[in-house]
Structure 1
Amino acid sequence: MNLAEAIIRKNVEKHPLKSAVGFKKKDSGWKELSWNKFGEIVYKTANALKSSGIVENDKVAIYADNSAEWMIFDLAVLSVGAITVPIYSTNNGEQTEFILTDSGSKMILVGNQSQYDACLEILQKQNTQLATIIVSKKAVWIKKEFSSVYLEDFIAKSSPKFDFTNKENDDTATLIYTSGTTGTPKGVMLSHGNFIKAFDAHFDYFQFRNFEEELSLAFLPLTHVFERSWSLLCLYGGARVYFLEDPKDIAKTLEEVKPTMMCAVPRFFQKIYAGVLEKAEEGSSLKKKIFSWALETGWQTAELRRNEKAIPFGLKIKETFADLLVFSKIKEKMGGRLWFLPCGGASLSPEVTRFFESIGIHVTVGYGLTETTATLTALPLTRFEHGSCGQPLPGVEIRIGEQNEIQAKGNGIMKGYYNKAEETEKVFTDDGWFKTGDAGRFDEYGNLFITDRIKDLMKTSNGKYIAPQQIENLLTNNNFIQQITLIAEGRQFVSALIVPNFEFLKEFLKKNGISFTNWEEIVSKKEIVDFYKVKVKELQSHLSDFEKVKKFTLMPAEFEIGSGEITPTLKVKRNVVLKKYADIIEKMY
């Protein structure tokens, strides 16, 4: 079945007047579209695509920030049997041109002026198959003579009635170009069946109750397989999805929208966790005692629920007071209604998941890749193991291969890399298992634990192996550390480049009467370096001596997407950083 049809038709028929999506209008707050209206706009867009010459299996790109238009256009492309090619909104012109050229995209939806300007330049070069630019916002200035049209005008004369193009399970639905921490981006081919079967597996695994009443906030980039799959899953199940255009507005938006579900990356949870602990530490001795008591109470009840055991009446009373005095205030900052938070993209420390479970929010840590349609494993709602990535979803098989590599088979495994037969062959074993490139292990209960990226494992000159992600994750749990890159390969000891959390560091400067000049000077000050030495020493106290960071350099600015130092999903491109800051690294040795 066509993925778009599986999402739209049943929901329009089942509850036409129920809200489907939400979006923010600049001057009038949040608005919603009913399933009837949402479906009508998708149909009109699909008909406009057909009228403009888009046919089955044509490639159509989306280069925009999150918005209702993004999702409408995606579903419209799928409806006509064409293939969606998402491009990160943070990509520059060169990166965008590469994807348009490699995919052979004929049309593109853009969201803002810089995205339009980049695509106009590409179109004028005539180096690609790009023929039309659709612009989602009237605020963008366009040159209509260069095949540019506003989305509103593009669909204005289209019919709201539409017949979906029939698709088989194995037919390609999308090409998602991997952000990749190394190498050239590759177009991952995911099929209609990959998505639909993955969605069914999630509902089978979690057995949600009243899913149609849930509200999800899409704040991670829809270009990434994680947010796109999750948002499509929510719509597939009849839940509402609100779209946040600027992720920097997440704090304010959580309080406005009050979502019940939302997928996020580890850094989101780490920042909240570290911020709460920091604030608790600053409180009076009485407030510290209340916080510790509440956390202990929450942990006791969370453990009983995790193991599906009854909670004694007395403990329930204590939990009520703990929530009233402490937890409700934390949860209100997150909108007050969140209970289910899928987390992916990197590992998350067990102390962080335990904290959220204690305050009544289930962080569903999962594991997967773009090549696996996101989720391979996930923590169930009960009987899960903190620190693990849970167990395989229905229809997923996992085995541990050579070098402890996680290998997978199942419904979500990609068809391959677009136009890259040799690259595709490299990531599959002779007997058809997909090689993830991640090292892992199963415990006796079947829970999967990720140890590290195989390519990231470092060997010191003393022959010791270092798994950098675990140590980096440990250190970034602290609110004063925003980003970190470990160095150890071929070295006699571990060192690191540390990017401070400048927001918290600025507060530290104020409290300690240190005048601010510029960050270059601040991160070189002895008292600041000494402060971080103490922090780093405390955080890694339980590590083996060979794993500990012995020297570090504080960086005066964050690693950035635009400079290629991090991916759009905030993963550090280790090779880029090591090369760019080679001189700084050498000074530490």
Structure 2
Amino acid sequence: MNLAAAIILKNVEKHPVKSAIGFKKKDEAWKELSWKKFGEIVFKTANALKNAGIQENDKVAIYSDNSSEWMIFDLASMAVGAITVPVYATNNAEQAEYIFNDSSAKAVLVGNQEQYDICLELLQKEESQLKTIIVSKKSVWIKKEFNSFYLEDFIAKSSPKPEICKKEYDDTATLIYTSGTTGTPKGVMLTHGNFIRAFDSHFEFFKFKNFEEELSLAFLPLTHVFERSWSLLCLYGGARVYFLEDPKNIAKALEEVKPTMMCAVPRFFQKVYAGVLEKAEESSSVKKKIFDWALAIGWQTAELRRNEMPVPFGLKLKESVADMLVFSKIKEKMGGRLWFLPCGGASLSPEVTKFFDSVGIHVTVGYGLTETTATLTLFPLTHFEHGTSGKPLPGVEIRIGEGDEIQAKGSGIMKGYYNKPEETQKVFTEDGWFKTGDAGKFDDKGNLIITDRIKDLMKTSNGKYVAPQQIENLLTNNNFIQQIMLVAEGRQFVSALIVPNFEFLRDFMKKNTIPFTSWEEAVKDDKIIALYKEKIKELQVHLPEYEKVKKFTLMPAEFDINTGEITPTLKVKRNVVLKKYADIIEKMY
């Protein structure tokens, strides 16, 4: 079964006039396309690709920010039997060229001038397989003599007739290159069956009611397996998906679009959580008491619902008051209709999930990798356990292998790494289980608990093992900390490089009349260092002594994607940062 057919044909037939996708160009209002119109554009694009010489199993790249065109191009490529190769919009020329060359991509959709210029240079190289560049925006200046087309012109004369290449479940649908915190990116081969069976198991797991009425806002990069799988799942189930081109506009988009569902990464939830708590702390004593009371009431009702127990009438009344006075204001800032938020990419502390549950928004924590078509385990809608990664999806098997490594089997597991049989062999056991590289365990109720990345575990010179992710996660729950990287391997104590949240720090400086000259100077200021010492002391009070950060250095700028310090999914590349800031780290010891 072709994934594009499974999504488009079914929904065009079922509800042709219902809205399928939404998008916004610059300062215009949000617009929608019906399923019928969406299907026509997908098939016009598919037939145009065919006319341009794209054949079954050819690779077609997408090098662009999120947009409706991104999704149209993805489905169109799969419809003709081609294999989609997403490239992060933030990838530089060298990173993009590696993916184009490794995958032998023949055509590409680009979104902006810089991406076009990189592809144009690549197209002119003798060894390049790239033959056609398609540009989604007319604002990009192109050289038509080098087989460059605006998407609008590229599809203008093609037929909207649905001609779909027949595909088996085991046929490759996409190559997703891992952003990789270590080593060279590898092309993960995911099949049509990987996606379709993963979607079916999600619907079996959650048993959603009226899923076709849901509205999702796509703001994480579609290049990443999490947002792409979630957005495709929403479309597969007949829900609407709105595409946000610039994630910096998320706050405004939430209020405009008013989504009911949206996938997000831990940092999104941490920022909301820390922001609300910070505001409550700064309120008058009366408002603070009301906030604390509301949160306590919300927690009581959330716990009863989590365990599928009835909420007494009196408690329901109190919950209504709590919602009117406190929770509705928090929810309005997020559009007012969000109720279901899948969270992945890293662990999320139980304090945060409990907070959102108390407010009336269900954060569904999950665990998975690119190699597993995103999801292996998830919180169910009820009877989930805070502080875990939930239970395996139907059709997923998980076992704990040697060194506490999480190993998996199931219909979502990749075919392998493209052109890398030896790398593929390394990540599978002799009896066919996929080795995740993460350490974990099961609780007595069958919930998976991630303890850490096996490669990231640090051993201090005192012989104690430190799992950095959990501690970093705990510390970034505070609004004054934007990014953090722990150092402990072979050291006598734990230290950290901390990137402040400069927005909050600037406010603190104003309130405390600390003059600002530059961030290089600000992070050395005694009052600011004292502030962070106090914050860190409060946050890690419950940690065992050997896990506590004893010394830290405040960094004057964020870790950067362009310099390779973080991946496009905002994970710190430890080896790069350790090497780059070796002198600063040594000074702490």
- TM-score between the two structures when normalised by the length of structure 1: 1.00
What's the CA shift for 1:123? 1.1
Residues 138-181 of structure 1, C-alpha deviation per residue, up to 9 Å, x if partnerless? 00000111111100000000011022100000000000000011
Match of 1:393 in 2: 393
Matches within 5 A, 1:431-470: 431-470=431-470
Match of 1:484 in 2: 484
Correspondence 1:557 to 2:561: no
Match of 1:91 in 2: 91
Match of 1:179 in 2: 179
Distance 1:60 1:514 in 2: 53
Q: Which amino acid aligns with 1:349?
A: S
Match of 2:533 in 1: 533
Distance 2:229 2:411 in 1: 14
Residue 25 of structure 1 aligns to a residue whose secondary structure is coil
Q: Which amino acid aligns with 1:56?
A: E
What's the CA shift for 1:27? 4.2
What's the CA shift for 1:127? 2.7
Instruction: Note closer, same or farther for the CA distance 1:528–1:316 as it changes in structure 2 (3 Å cut).
Output: same
Matches within 5 A, 1:26-105: 26-105=26-105
Instruction: Note closer, same or farther for the CA distance 1:27–1:480 as it changes in structure 2 (3 Å cut).
Output: closer
Distance 1:524 1:490 in 2: 27
What's the CA shift for 1:515? 1.2
Distance 2:222 2:432 in 1: 30
Q: Which runs of 4+ in 1 moved over 6 A?
A: none
Residues 2-43 of structure 1, C-alpha deviation per residue, up to 9 Å, x if partnerless? 000000001000000000000003343100000000000000
Residues 304-350 of structure 1, C-alpha deviation per residue, up to 9 Å, x if partnerless? 00000000000000000000000000000000000000000000000
Distance 1:241 1:14 in 2: 17
Q: Which amino acid aligns with 2:84?
A: T
Match of 2:266 in 1: 266
Match of 2:244 in 1: 244
> Alpha carbon RMSD of aligned pairs, Å?
0.5
Match of 2:376 in 1: 376
Q: Which amino acid aligns with 2:202?
A: H
Match of 2:289 in 1: 289
* Greater alpha carbon shift after TM alignment, 118-127 vs 16-25: 118-127
Correspondence 1:302 to 2:302: yes
Correspondence 1:22 to 2:49: no
What's the CA shift for 1:79? 0.1
Residue 287 of structure 1 aligns to a residue whose secondary structure is helix
Q: Which amino acid aligns with 2:335?
A: G
Match of 2:418 in 1: 418
Gaps of 5+ in 1: none
Distance 1:241 1:87 in 2: 21
What's the CA shift for 1:218? 0.2
* Greater alpha carbon shift after TM alignment, 388-397 vs 114-123: 114-123
Q: Which amino acid aligns with 2:47?
A: N
Match of 1:359 in 2: 359
Matches within 5 A, 1:115-154: 115-154=115-154
Correspondence 1:474 to 2:463: no
Distance 2:127 2:577 in 1: 31
Distance 1:558 1:28 in 2: 32
- TM-score between the two structures when normalised by the length of structure 2: 1.00
Aligned residues: 589
Distance 1:315 1:462 in 2: 51
Instruction: Note closer, same or farther for the CA distance 1:120–1:579 as it changes in structure 2 (3 Å cut).
Output: same
Distance 2:553 2:128 in 1: 44
Residues 525-556 of structure 1, C-alpha deviation per residue, up to 9 Å, x if partnerless? 11111111111111111111110101000000
What's the CA shift for 1:112? 0.5
Q: Which amino acid aligns with 1:540?
A: Q
Match of 2:113 in 1: 113
What's the CA shift for 1:124? 1.6
Residues 241-266 of structure 1, C-alpha deviation per residue, up to 9 Å, x if partnerless? 00000000000000000000000000
Q: Which amino acid aligns with 1:382?
A: T
Match of 1:313 in 2: 313
Residue 125 of structure 1 aligns to a residue whose secondary structure is coil
Residue 85 of structure 1 aligns to a residue whose secondary structure is strand
Residues 459-483 of structure 1, C-alpha deviation per residue, up to 9 Å, x if partnerless? 0011000000000000000000000
Distance 2:120 2:535 in 1: 49
What's the CA shift for 1:197? 0.1
Match of 1:515 in 2: 515
Distance 2:524 2:382 in 1: 48
Gaps of 5+ in 2: none
What's the CA shift for 1:122? 1.1
Correspondence 1:235 to 2:243: no
Match of 1:583 in 2: 583
Residue 21 of structure 2 aligns to a residue whose secondary structure is strand
Distance 2:105 2:372 in 1: 23
Distance 1:27 1:545 in 2: 52
Distance 2:75 2:210 in 1: 24
Residue 28 of structure 1 aligns to a residue whose secondary structure is coil
Distance 1:277 1:126 in 2: 58
Distance 1:130 1:203 in 2: 39
Distance 1:2 1:381 in 2: 30
What's the CA shift for 1:126? 2.7
Residue 229 of structure 1 aligns to a residue whose secondary structure is helix
Residues 395-421 of structure 1, C-alpha deviation per residue, up to 9 Å, x if partnerless? 000000011000000010000000000
Distance 1:224 1:101 in 2: 20
